Amino acid sequence: MTNKDLNTVLDLFCGCGGMSLGFEEAGYHVLLGIDIWKDALETYKYNHKQSKTLCADMASLNPSEVEKLLDGQQVDVIIGGPPCQGFSIAGKRIVDDERNQLYKGFVRMVEYFKPQAFVMENVPNILSMGDGIIKASIIEDFQSLGYNVQTKVLTASDYGVPQNRRRAVFVGTLNSTFDFEIPSVEHKVTTNEALSDLPEGSLEEGAAYPTEAQSEYQKLERRNSSGVYNHEITVHNEQTKRIISMVPDGGNYKDLPKDLQGTRKVHIAWTRLNSLRPSITIDTGHRHHFHYKWNRVPTVRESARIQSFPDDFIFMCSKTSQYKQVGNAVPPLMAQAIAEHLKKNLWKKIK
């Protein structure tokens, strides 16, 4: 087998397709994206025109049904991030509880297709949940299928993403070892470098860029785009804007007068992005973090920039849904770094 032969991907829990995009940019062909959320699949279909989609519940999906959609093509890599927050364990094992069926669906697909590798991502605390029992059980499940499994917590800003998002990543390789030391970038992209070319106000869909690119990152994000999409601002009430205006670049609720500090009952409330650093982890639209300069939450496009989606990746359905799609996604540049490292370090060992 050659590098060119080993490039087909099945994306489980694909969402809008951030992980798929990273693998595509690394030269893989994503055969199929599977998710139960129709809105995310609308975005996936629009942006991954060479891939098929399937709207299905991974808890009950039979792998043979997936195989019918692949037209006889082998699956070299399975990727995805099954929700694992509700894990149920007994002793030192993940049990066959309904709360575990999404994860078990991922395992079933790996067992059925026996890909050369899988990449599974999740929240960092999955490694410490149950005093490490969850992590050990996941590793044991895949080892029983013949996979060498390694895990590490990766920080997105180490791979060119202007965001300090941390994710736990499990990589399993069949009949081969894997060096998990993925090279990181020297320069961490700041929120200013990510967003400074986008205006304070809304833009019509496909509007021309109002300024030239002001950083290398902006040039990268614009490279295939003819204009700006998904840049519709949220109009806050005057009281909200007044409070935001009191918070300095990189500040938070602690910078407000005492009588205003408790107006939102979460510790991340009234947080402004820091223009000189990568962003904090963006959420799915809870509106607790604000632009480093403008007195508003970031637009969907600005959030997409923070996640490293290129400007020609266009989000579909309602604005609320778009925010959720962006916030739930794996940053494409981080996925690309994993995909490239996997190809470089694994495929060369397979004869």
254 part of a folded domain: yes
Position 89 scores a pLDDT of 65
132 part of a folded domain: yes
SS3 of 244, please?
helix
| Overall domain count for the chain | 2
Q: Are residues 143 and 87 in the same domain?
A: yes
What is the extent of the structural domain holding 316? 191-328
Distance CA 190, CA 161 (A): 9
DSSP character at residue 344: H
Position 317 scores a pLDDT of 98
Q: Are residues 204 and 176 in the same domain?
A: no
Q: Are strands 166-174 and 147-155 parallel, antiparallel or unpaired?
A: antiparallel
Ranges of residues in the chain whose predicted pLDDT is under 50: 1-4, 350-351
Q: Are residues 321 and 337 in the same domain?
A: no
| pLDDT digits 0-9 by tens, 86-134 | 666 666 666 666 667 888 899 999 999 999 999 999 989 888 887 888 8
Position 302 scores a pLDDT of 97
Determine which one of 14, 55, 84, 317 is catalytic: 84
Annotation says 84 is catalytic: yes
Position 264 scores a pLDDT of 67
Please name every residue paired with 168 in a beta bridge, in sequence order, or none if there are none. 122, 153
Q: What is the pTM of this model?
A: 0.94
Assigned token pair, 197:
């070319």
Position 112 scores a pLDDT of 98
Pair 112, 74: CB distance under 8 Å: no
Position 321 scores a pLDDT of 96
Q: Are strands 147-155 and 77-80 parallel, antiparallel or unpaired?
A: unpaired
Q: At what angle do helices 300-307 and 319-328 cross, to 10 degrees?
A: 10
Greatest C-alpha distance within the chain: 67
Assigned token pair, 337:
């770094």
CATH at 119 = 3.40.50.150
Q: Which residue has the tokens 């029992």?
A: 133
| Residue of 210, 265, 263 lying closest to 239 (CA atoms) | 263
Q: Phi and psi for 208 in degrees, rounded to 5?
A: -65, 150
Q: Are residues 30 and 172 in the same domain?
A: yes
Q: Are residues 114 and 254 in the same domain?
A: no
Q: Are residues 274 and 344 in the same domain?
A: no
Q: Are residues 138 and 238 in the same domain?
A: no
Q: Are residues 78 and 146 in the same domain?
A: yes
Position 4 scores a pLDDT of 47
Element (H, E) at 167: strand 166-174
| Residue of 326, 240, 335, 333 lying closest to 283 (CA atoms) | 326
Q: Are strands 52-55 and 29-35 parallel, antiparallel or unpaired?
A: parallel
Position 168 scores a pLDDT of 94
CATH at 279 = 3.90.120.10
Position 130 scores a pLDDT of 79
Q: Are residues 340 and 324 in the same domain?
A: no
125 part of a folded domain: yes
Assigned token pair, 73:
């093509």
Q: Phi and psi for 119 in degrees, rounded to 5?
A: -130, 120
